[in-house]
Amino acid sequence: MHGFNRQRQYSRGPHGRNLFASRGSGGGRRGVKYLNPNLFIKKASAIAPQPEQVVTARFADYAINDKIKRNIEEHGYTIPTAIQDKAIPEILAGRDVIGIANTGTGKTAAFLISLINKCMLDHNQRVLIVVPTRELACQIRDEFFIFGRGTGLEVAAIIGGANIQRQKYELRRNPHVVIGTPGRLTDLVDRGELNLNLFENVVLDEVDRMVDIGFIKDIKYLVSYLPKVRQSLFFSATVDGSTQEILKEFVINPVTVSVQHQDGVKNIDQDIVRTGGKVKIEVLHDLLIQPGFDKVIIFGRTKWGMDKLSHSLIERGFKTAIIHGNKSQGQRQRALSEFKNNRKNILIATDVAARGIDIEGVTHVINYDAPETYEDYIHRIGRTGRAGKKGTALTFVD
């Protein structure tokens, strides 16, 4: 491969593929690992119809409040997804549930619809939803507004990067549903602003991602303050290792619901773009003006580098939005909204956006800077090729 000398040392990746190439004497700093570019080349599988479970129920059949049913219908939903069909009856029955499902299967609506109904039956009920990222918390809050419209129930998003004084005020209003990230929730528990003993309904969502990010101690801490008698819902794409460790302390006599969901990566054409000594911004420009690059996420490693790239693309006439860790929560939400609503067709981001973002219609993911790990790569490219559509992932290689 171009840029690598013959003295390579490899680690094994998925399916026995070589993960790392360590450059020798002719390749730069000794001992620095570089992901093998071969990992970024893979054709999408043919998108065959999935052997979905036959769902015969309709939302109208569930024992939920008529107001919620109208909100669901007005949103255009009539037939539940497989995970909704399996999970909603169990949640409505008060069971603890382990849901094994990927993002994009409809699990958020499954637990929201059920728990909104529970709060309508008893306004003293309180719901805590713990998620890995600020963006996912805001997405769930937005779905709450859809399904909970006109119910009189209140919601608060308790996330880092937002005004903590305002969040204290929202908590003092005793909202029925609190959606938060582990760090900020823990902070407010420590300050005496959040009494977890009031929450008899708790959802841990995308637990595997929370473990990946390093929130396992925070999750255990939060669970330790919850009432012993509660309804616990646990959603994760996988359950193993540390995830299993949390699970044992969280649920009691649970029912497990699982859906077979095609790995989104199978829907993605993956390839590399060799810069061949050319200026990277020029290579990127030539890509972005090609037909079909309609909605693009560009990933890079550093906040400074992505700011510089954004300015360069704007100067060239492209409509870009940008999110990274130095942006305020308001700035990040505006950027995502502009991208989601097609006011901007390019989103520039560091890895903060790789997890928990579910935006329809992303045609391409471009790794302007190669990711540091293969796991980061999978999370990045998973923003495209969703909902049964094909996507394209391109990774720049020197």
CATH number, domain with residue 314: 3.40.50.300
CB 339 within 8 A of CB 363: no
User: With 60 as the cut, is the pLDDT of residue 8 above it?
Assistant: no
| Residue 326: CB atoms within 10 Å | 12
110-142 tens-digit pLDDT: 999 999 999 999 999 999 999 998 888 999 999
Q: Taking residues 267-295, what's their average pLDDT?
A: 92
In this structure, the answer to whether residues 238 and 311 fall within a common structural domain is no
pLDDT for 155: 97
Using the predicted structure, report yes or no on whether residue 33 has a pLDDT greater than 70: no
Q: Does 112 share its domain with 92?
A: yes
Cα–Cα distance between 109 and 96 in angstroms, integer? 17
Residue at 317 is within a domain: yes
**pTM, whole model, 2 decimals?**
0.66
159/270 same-domain check: no
Q: How many residues does the chain have?
A: 398
* Beta strands at 201-204 and 127-130: parallel, antiparallel or unpaired: parallel
Mean pLDDT is lowest, of 241-250, 256-265, 275-284, for: 256-265
Q: Residue 249 contacts by C-beta under 8 Å, 6 or more apart in sequence?
A: 220, 223
Q: Average per-residue pLDDT in the chain?
A: 84
Indicate whether 49 belongs to any domain. Answer: no
Q: Is 146 exposed, middle or buried (0-12, 13-18, 19+ CB in 10 A)?
A: middle
What local confidence, expressed as pLDDT, does residue 240 receive?
76
Starting at the earlier edge strand, list the strands of the sheet with 346-349: 268-274, 391-397, 364-367, 296-299, 346-349, 320-323
Instruction: Based on the fold, state whether residues 111 and 228 are members of the same structural domain.
Output: yes
Last residue of a domain, one of 219, 237, 258: 258
100 and 238 co-located in one domain? yes
Does some domain include residue 328? Answer: yes
What percent of the chain clears pLDDT 90, i.e. is strictly above it?
Answer: 56
Residue 46 located in a structural domain: no
Closest listed residue to residue 298, CA positions, set 250, 66, 287, 70 = 287
What is the Cα Rg of the chain in Å?
A: 22
Report pLDDT for 285: 97
- At 140-179, the pLDDT tens digits run 999 999 999 999 999 999 998 889 999 999 999 999 999 9
Q: Is residue 53 part of a domain?
A: no
Closest CA to 356 of 387, 382, 318, 389: 382
Same domain? For 240 and 345 the reply is no
| pLDDT for position 291 | 94
Same domain membership, residue 35 and residue 121: no
Model pLDDT for residues 36-92, shown as the tens digit of each residue: 777 777 776 654 444 556 677 899 899 999 999 999 999 888 899 899 999 999 999
Res 27: pLDDT: 37
The number of C-alpha atoms within 13 Å of 326 and in the hemisphere containing its C-beta is: 7
Query: What are the tens digits of pLDDT across the range 350-373?
Result: 887 656 567 889 999 999 998 887
Q: Choose the weakest-confidence range: 25-34, 183-192, 326-335, 353-362.
A: 25-34
Per-residue pLDDT band at 234 (split at 50, 70, 90): very high
Residue 19 binned pLDDT confidence (cut-offs 50, 70, 90): very low
The pLDDT, as a whole number, for residue 384 is 87
pLDDT the model gives residue 358: 72
Do both 204 and 322 map to the same domain? no
Residue range(s) defining the domain that contains residue 29: 1-40
Span 333-344, average pLDDT: 90
CA pair distance 202, 212, nearest whole angstrom? 20
Same-domain pairing of 170 and 298? no
Q: Is 153 among the domain residues?
A: yes
Question: Total structural domains in the chain?
Answer: 3
- Last residue of one domain, picked from the residues 258, 293, 314: 258
Q: If we measure between CA atoms, which residue out of 138, 162, 137 comes closest to residue 327?
A: 162
Supply 373's token pair: 């790990």
Domain final residue, candidates 258, 291, 307: 258
Alpha helices in 99-252, H assignment, sequence order:
107-121, 134-147, 164-172, 182-190, 207-213, 216-224, 242-250
Whether 235 and 282 share a structural domain: no
Q: Which residues contact 384 (CB under 8 A, 6 or more apart)?
A: 268, 297, 362, 363, 364, 365, 391, 392, 393
Indicate if 389 and 292 belong to the same structural domain: yes
Residue with more model confidence, 56 or 307: 307
- Answer yes or no: do 253 and 289 share one domain: no
Residue-wise pLDDT for 174-221, tens only, equals: 999 999 999 999 999 999 999 999 999 999 999 988 887 789 999 999
